[in-house]
Amino acid sequence: MTTKTTVGGLRPKSAGETAYQRTQVADLQGGAFFESTWHTTDKTVEVRDPEDGLLLGTVCSSTPEDVRRAVAHIHRHMQEVDWPLRQRRESLERAAALLRGQSARFANIIAAESSKTINEAEREVLRCIETLRLSAAASGELQGETLAFEDSLAGTGKLGWYNRKPVGIVAAITPFNDPLNLVAHKLGPALIGGNGVVLKPSGRTPLTGLAFIQLLLDAGVPAGRVAAIVAGPGVSEALVTDPQVDLISFTGGPKTADRIASSAGAKKILSELGGNNATIVCADANAGEAAQAIVAGAFGVAGQNCLSVQRVYVHISLFDRVLDDVVRGTKALRSGPKLERTTDIGPLISEAEARRVEDWVEEAKAAGATVHVGGRRHGAHYAPTVLTDVPSACRVIREEVFGPVVSVLPFIEVQDAVRAANDTEFGLQAGVFTESFSEALAIAEKLHVGSVVINETSDVRIDSMPFGGFKRSGVGREGVKHTVREMTEPKNTIIQLPKTSSGWQQFAATTNGAV
């Protein structure tokens, strides 16, 4: 490996780190999984480390026919082979235990193919273990209840109940930024609900998802219930339009979601489409704590997080103090090789994405914005950047940056900060810093977002909570038990009670009197 010159705080990886990455992908089973089989015959799609272009592995270039075969096989399996709830729960419990035992391996696969540092990758593995545990525990969400027919004229003489049944086959389409836990957030609830699943992981980070499929198989998930297809001309279209796919769960951008909805037709779609998240720092807030949280929330995973802090509105009385602390905290962050423990910020997922972020910042500068720290690109790395004086028409304000850029803006009246925070097509999450409980609740009530976090930034997700947003941030909610409900439907069973006494006696005898 050619030695690189240190530029902008970046240092080359050691030969040992590169070799270690190579070993992490060598034992993957194949490049696609369907019809209960790993496929390797067309492994022509390369997966490279975004940091230095190192070839990590190859996956299959699949076809629409492969998708049809995958879906048809799962459909047949679900018709022919029962998989009781108890076995589903036990498989997910075993999967959580297996992942805990393989946590170092999975963390290094994540760090190798994605933008995450090794520290961030290890945290994602821990979260995935929790997601699997919560998925197993969500078996209780499949209970139903008796139907109150006695309170309806049409219900006279009828007995009934409902329970929850799987929707059928779920198409799970996942992004690059959380290649393990976001897969688990779709597959765990789908499987505990009794569904079959076709996973389409991001083509940028597919190795983690494929390794996860093997882990589920090892844990006892029937091979006929799952499939994974990564890439190939027409495969996405084939998956979302297949008539035997009953539900699409998609995490990504709004434009792709529009295309999916247009192509898929009348089927259930769950989508999480990102955010342009604001944090409001009120006049009575603890400025130091707010600044520390803003730095952590803006720059984790190099800003490639749907919950990243993108816009910060600070009361004019605290503006200089908060800005100084944010700039100081940002300067203390270290950009560097992902596998080094001292690295805080890794690369973006590609150099093209780093160039896009660079273009957006340059556009803001040309419009009058001030760069207090950062504003520099080196390959796929973009330095953590703090802006002020940003005109509201700039893309770093209007759109989701999905990069390490935060804009800090002053306000005088709280209602102006709330209005500015809501002035976006997204509505995922927001943060509010204030010592006043009543002020916090008043602001939370007015923010049009899926979650308001008090005395923290928007960058908070607890895997059990209902997760999603308003407006263009998506449709439906994730969060394990909430996803289980979305991926199952109530099914009624209604009994017409016998109308004659002899018929009643016969019915009672057949049910041992348990009416």
Catalytic residues: 272, 306
**For the purposes of burial, counting CB atoms within 10 Å of the CB of 12, is it exposed (0-12), middle (13-18) or buried (19 or more)?**
middle
Give the DSSP per-residue string, 100-147.
Answer: HHTHHHHHHHHHHHSS--HHHHHHHHHHHHHHHHHHHHGGGGG--EE-
Dihedral, 58, 99, 350, 61 alpha carbons, nearest 10: 30
User: 9 with 334: CB under 8 angstroms?
Assistant: yes
- Asked if 490 and 162 count as a contact pair (C-beta separation under 8 A), the reply is yes
Token pair in block for residue 353: 């994405």
Report the length, in residues, of the chain. 515
Alpha-carbon torsion angle 350, 278, 293, 305, nearest 10: -30
49 phi-psi bin (left φ>0, alpha ψ -120 to 50, beta other): beta
- Measured CA to CA in angstroms, residue 95 lies from 81, 135, 457 at distances of 21, 11, 32
> Would you give the end-to-end CA distance of the chain in angstroms?
76
Is 22 in contact with 204 (CB distance < 8 Å)?
no
How many whole angstroms separate alpha carbon 277 and alpha carbon 457? 9
Sheet strands side by side (includes 32-34)? 37-39, 32-34, 226-228, 196-200, 169-173, 247-251, 268-272, 474-475
Helical ranges in 349-436 per DSSP H: 351-366, 395-398, 414-422
* Dist. CA 248–CA 224, nearest whole Å: 19
Q: Are 162 and 147 in contact (CB under 8 A)?
A: yes
Count of CB atoms situated within 10 Å of the CB of 494: 12
- Residue from 69, 68, 18, 63 nearest 42 by CA: 63
Half-sphere CA count of 467, side-chain side, radius 13 A: 24
Residues 6+ apart with CB under 8 A from 78: 166, 168, 169, 196, 224, 225
